[in-house]
Amino acid sequence: MIDLHTHSIFSDGTDTPEAMALAAQAGGLKALALTDHDTLAGLERFMAMQPEVATLLVPGIELSCRFMGRPLHMLGLFLDFRDPLLVERIESMRIQRLERNQTMVARLRARGVAITWEDVSREAPTDLISRTHFARVLVRNGAAGSPQDAFNRLIGDDSPCYVPFPDLLPQVAADWIRAAGGVAVVAHPGRGFPRGFRWDEAMLDLKQQGVQGFEAYYPDYGPLEERYFLALAETLELVPCGGSDYHGGNKPGRRLGVGDGGLQVPDGVLERLQRLQGA
């Protein structure tokens, strides 16, 4: 069992990197990647756990990009997370995210929603603030009935107070990842785009931009969707990746390695990715 997509307190998860490494070992995982959104901040602590666990710990990231006018997430796996150029590039994203978040607070306030910068800062356990933290504040302050309601009406990708960030192109993200020795993998292509979207041409385009794989296994894909993505990966000669997108208590019901229960990423994916490292 392997899991190549998870989040800790360093983005919008609720577990520490240490707890996740130990949980992976307890659950018998062969490999676990930590892929926090737009930050490398948790990786030092995560990788420091390697001597203590039999699970292979994989340093990763999930970069927020835009593609065809929609949000697209790009995983970088097996990164050299201390690479100075990569660190500098990610720092530029931290600043953009900060500005985006401040604009979102202003937009929400302009609509009469009770929310302050202090509220959202306090909600986040580390200095990365994401919409997940906004959603929690909106529920706490009574502006939304549930996090899902907050996303549906106020801060979701197609909602009035969402401010997109940043305009990172997939090609640039793939280049950053590969320049740091990592493997570039499109996260959950079946999400963020209309259901039933045909990825054949778009994924070929992304391959030409430097992408090496994409998630064919994901907790809420249906069997048809998974079969479609597996066939597409084979046709395009891209690695069919996958993971739980574990967020701890921020995505209840999602578990390391197994997702909602039915996730099964074949161990062989790991070796395929390792062969691409630094390519």
The single-letter code of the amino acid at 240 is P
| Sequence-separated (6 or more) residues with CB below 8 Å from residue 57 | 21, 24, 31, 32, 33, 34, 46, 47, 49, 50
- Distance, CA of 17 to CA of 104 (rounded, Å): 28
187 binds, among ligand AMP, Mn ion, none (CB under 5 to 8 A by kind): Mn ion
Q: Applying CB under 6 A, does 132 fall inside the site for ligand AMP? A: yes
Contact track, Mn ion, 218-257, x by CB under 5 A? ---------------------------x------------
Which position's Cβ is nearest Mn ion? 73
Q: Which stretch binds ligand AMP (CB under 6 A): 85-93, 129-137, 169-177, 200-208?
A: 129-137
Is residue 62 classed as helix, strand or coil in its secondary structure? strand
Closest-CA residue to 106 (of 170, 185, 162): 162
Total residues found in the chain within this entry: 279
Contact track, ligand AMP, 16-35, x by CB under 6 A? --------------------
Identify the residue among 113, 187, 203, 270 touching Mn ion (CB under 5 A): 187
| Sequence-separated (6 or more) residues with CB below 8 Å from residue 99 | none
Is residue 17 classed as helix, strand or coil in its secondary structure? helix
Q: What angle do CA 6, 146, 124 make, to 5 degrees?
A: 50
Q: Are 194 and 101 in contact (CB under 8 A)?
A: no
Phi, psi of 74 (to 5 degrees): -120, 120
User: Please, what is the angle between helix 84-110 and helix 170-179, to 10°?
Assistant: 140
Which two three-digit tokens encode residue 120?
Answer: 């959202």
Q: How far apart are the first and last CA of the chain?
A: 25
Contact track, Mn ion, 55-94, x by CB under 5 A? -------x----------x---------------------
Identify the residue among 5, 37, 136, 188 touching ligand AMP (CB under 6 A): 37
Which position's Cβ is nearest ligand AMP? 130
- Distance, CA of 42 to CA of 128 (rounded, Å): 11
Identify the residue among 2, 6, 10, 12 touching ligand AMP (CB under 6 A): 12
156 binds, among Mn ion, ligand AMP, none (CB under 5 to 8 A by kind): ligand AMP
Identify the residue among 130, 171, 212, 244 touching ligand AMP (CB under 6 A): 130
Whose Cβ is closer to ligand AMP: residue 55's or residue 165's?
165
Whose Cβ is closer to Mn ion: residue 84's or residue 218's?
218
User: Which residues would be at the binding site for Mn ion (CB under 5 A)?
Assistant: 12, 62, 73, 187, 245
User: Which residues would be at the binding site for ligand AMP (CB under 6 A)?
Assistant: 12, 37, 64, 130-132, 148, 151, 156, 247
